[in-house]
Chain A
């Protein structure tokens, strides 16, 4: 493979170095480039003991942007896990175009550990995330041992080193810490949150009740956006606030998303949600046109009539 790439290229050098660093499987993770493409890797990670993912071994792809490590890698999970949808890009630090929360001094190891730490966190309704009940996740974790990657032929139960209690606790500490720093989300979440924020702000402006304000204040105090939220409902869909009582569930995303939308103010998109007021506007417009035509017709009519009258008088 070495001959295929320009080894003077800093990014290529870095990826080759990382491949060397990760060449041997560890207890918790392993990743190697595909044989024919240095910018696509396959990885394997182990679920943390004491979570729904205990005993689970999960496999996936890593797609690197051309300017890695300046921009973050994209991860895609292939093994059913009940936390992330399969075959969908889970973007590290939200999206390749918003690399602000990714540091070039982080590595693939950092990304994998963050993913391990991120698995047990609450999806909080994020798109691309799954919120399967613990029972199902545990079942999937058990099944994962016999899962085999069609592309690289890697069998999960053989992919990592056998686990030792000591080795895991050390890595897990790091993983947990990283998970609070790195955000794993489907890239669409960004957009979703933005719309949600806009709508919520709108809503707040419209009914500035004490109730809403209190809800916001309370959620601000609850802190981190990824903290498990009060929702017991299966939230696999859009985090759009529906009622005031639900806003408690929504709010933890707020601070983060308002920051995001702030960053994006210059790039705001017109919302492509259907504009329901059109239902009112279009008939009104049609009515106006109709009235205008009737009046015009009447005028023509009256003129013609008087002309006819003139003719008959003649």
Chain B
């Protein structure tokens, strides 16, 4: 009590010194934040595909036995992993990379996705997304796909783009926009799931259209629907899975027997990476 009062007293009387302190504090804070950012940036946006055993190696069998055994279990079904930078965009980025990989291998799917991206551009305008800036993100994305389709960019060039902060985040914004677009298009359906007294539009602006905001379950459903993909998420921690199992298929209502996912993500608390199934062994 005494302490705070005295601090108040000092800040009232010595205005100049308070300002100086504040500026020092800002400097310090900026440095700290810069360090966090640099630390994030030390990992590539999209890592190279590598063996899933590199995931097993991250866990100590004694101190984190649960993760260690789950990682081992995953190696029985999956062979590779692609680590994605943990900057709050990892879900969108993982899906983006997964989709681009599919389209690099399948020209027909690429053509279809270009068409649907063009449809999304028109839809976003109809839904009242601001100005020309939104269409700008769409056009950039479509141009990126078109370059692959026309053979202007090969896989190397594509992955170079996906690892360039500026380009990659521009592409990623398209995914955030169509996620938001899908929610707004089906507002009546999704509105009841939004808590905390937010409207759906507010939720979309603060949680989805803003960069570096992590995706929640609603965003995941919306992006899956907007891109029309089949997604499986493997959970390292059973308690995190919405259905209480080890994995979750999206869109909902798909049982395991018939479900062949286009993209599989690995979820570790707070983070998504891409994983790849072992090639089917001819028996």
Binding site for B on A (CB under 8 A): 9-11, 13-14, 17, 21, 67, 69-71, 97, 99-107, 109-110, 127, 181, 187-188, 191-192, 195, 199, 202-203, 206-207, 237-238, 240-242, 267, 269, 271-277
Contact = CB atoms under 8 A, between A and B. Distances in A.
Contact of A17 (B21, B136, B210): B136
A10 B130 contact: no
Given A9-B166, A99-B211, A191-B26, A106 B4 contact: no
Contacts of B170: 10-11
Contact of A105 (B30, B32, B173): B173
A271 B29 CA distance: 11
Given A267-B36, A275-B3, A105 B26 contact: no
B28 interface: yes
B10 interface: yes
A201 to B, nearest CB: 10
A43 B213 CA distance: 30
A107 B206 contact: no
A242 B12 contact: yes
30 contacts: A9-B166, A10-B140, A11-B166, A14-B133, A17-B132, A17-B136, A67-B166, A69-B133, A71-B211, A97-B30, A99-B211, A103-B210, A104-B209, A105-B129, A105-B209, A106-B130, A107-B130, A107-B131, A199-B7, A203-B1, A237-B18, A238-B11, A240-B12, A241-B8, A242-B8, A267-B29, A272-B28, A273-B11, A275-B3, A276-B7
B30 to A, nearest CB: 7
B165 A240 contact: no
Contacts, number: 128
B116 interface: no
B137 interface: yes
B137 A127 contact: no
Contacts of A103: 205, 209-210
Interface in B126-144: 129-134, 136-137, 140
B262 interface: no
B23 interface: yes
Which 5 interchain pairs have the tightest Cβ spacing? A10-B170, A276-B6, A97-B33, A105-B133, A242-B8
A132 to B, nearest CB: 17
B26 A21 contact: no
A191 B209 contact: no
A272 B206 CA distance: 32
Given A100-B206, A103-B210, A269-B32, A276 B25 contact: no
Question: What secondary structure prevails in chain A residues at the interface with B?
Answer: loop
B18 to A, nearest CB: 6
A109 B212 CA distance: 23
B10 A105 contact: no
Contacts of A276: 2-3, 6-7
Given A100-B210, A105-B133, A240 B140 contact: no
B211 A104 contact: yes
A240 B169 contact: no
A7 to B, nearest CB: 12
Given A69-B133, A237-B18, A272-B24, A101 B7 contact: no
A240 B11 contact: yes
A69 to B, nearest CB: 7
B217 to A, nearest CB: 20
Interface in B71-91: none
A267 B30 CA distance: 10
A11 to B, nearest CB: 5
A135 B123 CA distance: 49
Contacts of A71: 211
B195 to A, nearest CB: 16
A301 B108 CA distance: 99
A210 to B, nearest CB: 18
A46 to B, nearest CB: 20
Contact of B25 (A69, A97, A237, A272): A272
B8 A191 contact: no
B1 A207 contact: yes
B32 A273 contact: no
B48 interface: no
A184 B228 CA distance: 39
B131 A109 contact: yes
A105 B165 contact: no
B169 A237 contact: no
Contacts of B29: 191, 267, 269
A241 B21 CA distance: 18
A10 B133 CA distance: 12
Given A188-B22, A273-B10, 7 more contacts: A10-B140, A17-B132, A105-B130, A105-B177, A107-B133, A269-B28, A276-B2
B54 interface: no
